[in-house]
Amino acid sequence: MGGVHGEIVAAMRRILLGTDVPAYLDDGADRLLRDARAAALELELGCRSIIAVGAGSLILPWVGAKQLVSLTLALKAKEVDASPLPHAIELPRTPPEEAVQLLESFAAEPAPSADAITARVSRPCRAKFDEFLPPDLLRLVTAVEHLDIGSIPETAGAVIGKSAPLRRGE
């Protein structure tokens, strides 16, 4: 599966929240990093992983692509309007307080079943001959190769462990 590995996301977070400037940055990249750090400071991303955006929320779990998509699909399995972004999950109709409650429930329960999660995958066919696989095998391949369902409770717990929700403009 494509996507960013969790170790890369952790390094990105360290750089964003740190003060050192990598030697390889040119002037333009240095300016972008300073702007990003100012925004991260304003949004308190060092201690928050849920940000209020309009009537909804943005969850920043700081995990790899497999974990991010797995948590998104777990939210969808609970009938939540959730969309994965490159490094976040958008919940356009779920205020931060409700997002915290949802994540608390995931953190307190065992990981959902692979069937419950993969049922939300709209197009699991990704490889040349996937269309010829029976649906149950295709869901299993999706769960094993493209998701990390077992990480859902841990990811949810980590997000709520550093999430005093913030309303834009506060």
Beta bridge partners of residue 16, listed in sequence order: none
Mean pLDDT of all residues in 113-135:
73
pLDDT of residue 125: 58
Rounded alpha-carbon distances, angstroms, from residue 128 to 2, 53, 142, 163: 16, 39, 14, 42
- Global pTM value: 0.82
Mean pLDDT of all residues in 38-57:
94
**Do the beta carbons of residue 28 and residue 39 sit within 8 Å?**
no
Helices (H), 44-169: 65-77, 96-108, 114-118, 135-146, 152-161
Mean pLDDT of all residues in 143-160:
86
SS3 53: strand
Angle between helices 96-108 and 152-161 (to 10 degrees): 130
pLDDT bucket at 166, cuts 50 / 70 / 90: very low
